[in-house]
Amino acid sequence: MSRFVVGIDLGTTNSALAFVDTTEATEDLPAPVRSLPIPQLVAVNDVAERPVLPSFLYLPTEKEFPAGSIDLPWKKKPDRIVGTFAREHGAKVPARLVSSAKSWLSAEGIDRASALLPWQAPEDVPRVSPDEASAEYLGYLKDAWNAAIAGKSADDRLEAQQIYLTVPASFDAEARERTVAAARSVGLEQVTLLEEPQAAFYAWLSEQGDSWRKRVSVGDLILVCDVGGGTTDFTLIGVAERDGDLELNRLAVGEHILLGGDNMDLALAHAVAETIPGGMEGLDPSQRIGLTYACRNAKEALFSDPGLKSATVSVLGRGSKVIGGAIKAELSRELLHSVLLEGFFPKCSATDQPARGRRIGLTEIGLPYAADPAITRHLARFLGRHSGATSAAGAAARPTAVLFNGGVFRAEGLRDRIAETLADWGGEPIEVLAAPELDLAVARGAAYYGMVRRGKGIRIRGGVPRSYYVGIETAAPAVPGVPTPIKALCVVPMGMEEGTEADVPGSQLGLVVGEPAEFRFLASTVRREDAIGTVLDRWSPDELSELTPLVTSLGEQAGEEGDVIPVRLHSIVTEVGTLELWCEGTKDAGRWKLEFNVREPAGA
């Protein structure tokens, strides 16, 4: 095993790295979790350490900066800039600034491998793919680690360590696989993925030590409310008892909600624009992007300094008045809280549902943001859908405690609004679990989880967080213009533990061999009662969502091209969370494997 266990939070807005040096452990005390200060450009000719690495990539022109002025301790003449200076300078030149790569990495309906960032940049600006931008951030963290920790020791380089890389709980399989691929592209091979809300809870466990058992009781239901730069994630963790000791079980995860700090920055930009002559309509597209980035920086400044009453927002002018024509405004704390509280955290009832919004026939290709910005209404929907996670069947889940995660919740007023809303829904106060260092919690929790995997801590149990189904083509007469309907066969029920396997009961199926065939997979976060072998003839879009299909060719030696041979299915959930679906011949010997990642894909 590696000397270090490393946790990396590859965030939409900020990335962070934490680690455990296992040689520091003693018989009485575990090794501490530490965060890595990250050296980065903060201005021209100025490299300084910061606790996090802003997830921004600036693409400079060839002669934009003087020679040597953007050099790094480990790299001379970099052709790209990452981190604080990329964010600050890029706010003035937004057409060359890549941001929110993580959101694009998870966006469905686009080619995520294509070079599309910076979004809507002019033709003469080079572009990168979301994968490439993610690899830039991971590569930067690798270089910073190797310079600060490894030195000349090959065994201590980041490439040689066990790495736990976090992703939103709602990331689909393709986004997870692309995250792993980005890590591998910079030489990080020993990578396991961990869901961010779980990582945040592991950070809380790490801080509490053995005293966590005094903070919670059997029957408690803990909500992890994670609002990051690009996504909103909800997770429910239950406290149970086994053999006289407390244990933790992850009971439910939310669906993918593309809603977070990016949306808030845009809302703030519109609010600030109302104080500028001409408003938002008076700004060109580049200035609008610049205003959004400037509002993001102002928001971060107000979050970081509670004593600050306002922050300046500045946008460059146009044409010959780029400098002299700069537009300046103020983002006050009062306006900040008003926009965020009323726009994103409005008071609502437990039965409210987020608005879906009417779809227009033609729409611009871009990030599929949630139609309703009200996080409280999305929370109401989540708790209402997961009534089965508690003993009160038919009633919405009622958390007894909440743990906040994400930089958005550095604002005390936003934490208070969620806690008050939950209390209103449940009729009693909600305990807020202390979550220090919100920007670092996920990375620190991931590092702690690495030690849990080595048997040095309490593990959150729960098996796979979704039920998984394979699509079965219905034997029905062909109808012109009507696609053949499919049934959904449950091959992995929700909660199936890692390291277990089972035959899929039911009648035998026909496997197409010798030619490329499409295998369709579906998943559900709410159908927790479906047992393995359950067949669904119909379902609503709210119950099942289709995943990226797998196209492959099986059984080239089993028969002629296009033959159909009878098989039965056998499911295995491996220790690292991959699903192996075996097709076993019932007449002739033969086994064929379909492998699909369902949790923590480590690249089997």
pLDDT digits 0-9 by tens, 242-271 = 877 888 988 888 887 889 988 999 999 999
Q: Are 192 and 370 in contact (CB under 8 A)?
A: no
Q: What is the pLDDT of residue 6?
A: 98
Q: What is the pLDDT of residue 425?
A: 93
Q: What is the pLDDT of residue 599?
A: 40
Maximum average pLDDT range among 71-80, 432-441, 579-588 = 71-80
Supply the CATH classification number for the domain 197-258+360-456: 3.30.420.40
Q: Are 418 and 405 in contact (CB under 8 A)?
A: no
Q: Write the pLDDT tens digit of every residue in 130-153.
A: 999 999 999 999 999 999 999 999
Q: What is the pLDDT of residue 379?
A: 96
Q: With a cut of 70, say whether residue 384 has pLDDT above it.
A: yes
Q: What is the pLDDT of residue 104?
A: 86
| Separation CA 469–CA 506 (nearest Å) | 14
On the CB side of 230, CA atoms within 13 Å amount to: 25
Q: How confident is the model at residue 347 (pLDDT cuts 50, 70, 90)?
A: very high
A 10 A CB-CB count for 119 gives 15
For the segment 210-221, the average pLDDT, to the nearest whole number, is 89
Q: With a cut of 60, say whether residue 604 has pLDDT above it.
A: no
Q: Write the pLDDT tens digit of every residue in 49-102.
A: 999 999 999 999 989 999 999 999 999 999 999 999 999 898 888 889 999 898
Among the listed ranges 98-112, 114-128, 183-197, 571-585, which one has the minimum average pLDDT value? 571-585
- Give the phi and the psi of residue 597 in degrees, each rounded to 5: -70, 135
Q: Are 83 and 50 in contact (CB under 8 A)?
A: yes
**Span 4-193 CATH architecture:** 2-Layer Sandwich (3.30)
**Region for 126 from its dihedrals, namely left if φ exceeds 0, alpha if ψ lies in -120 to 50, beta otherwise:** beta
> At what angle are helices 441-452 and 196-208 packed, to 10 degrees?
80
Asked if the domains at 261-344 and 467-597 fall in one CATH topology, the answer is: no
Q: What is the pLDDT of residue 363?
A: 47
Q: What is the pLDDT of residue 601?
A: 32
Maximum average pLDDT range among 25-29, 185-189, 248-252, 455-459 = 185-189
Superfamily of domain 261-344: ATPase, substrate binding domain, subdomain 4 (3.90.640.10)
- Percent of the chain's residues with pLDDT above 70: 90
Q: What angle do CA 179, 92, 282 make, to 5 degrees?
A: 110
Q: What is the pLDDT of residue 114?
A: 87
Residues 6+ apart with CB under 8 A from 430: 399, 400, 401, 402, 419, 422, 423
Which pTM does this prediction carry? 0.83
Q: With a cut of 50, say whether residue 173 has pLDDT above it.
A: yes
Q: With a cut of 70, say whether residue 595 has pLDDT above it.
A: no
Fold classification of 467-597 (topology level): Substrate Binding Domain Of DNAk; Chain A, domain 1 (2.60.34)
Output the six-digit token pair for 92: 């003035």
Q: What is the pLDDT of residue 360?
A: 54
Domain ranges of the chain: 4-193, 197-258+360-456, 261-344, 467-597
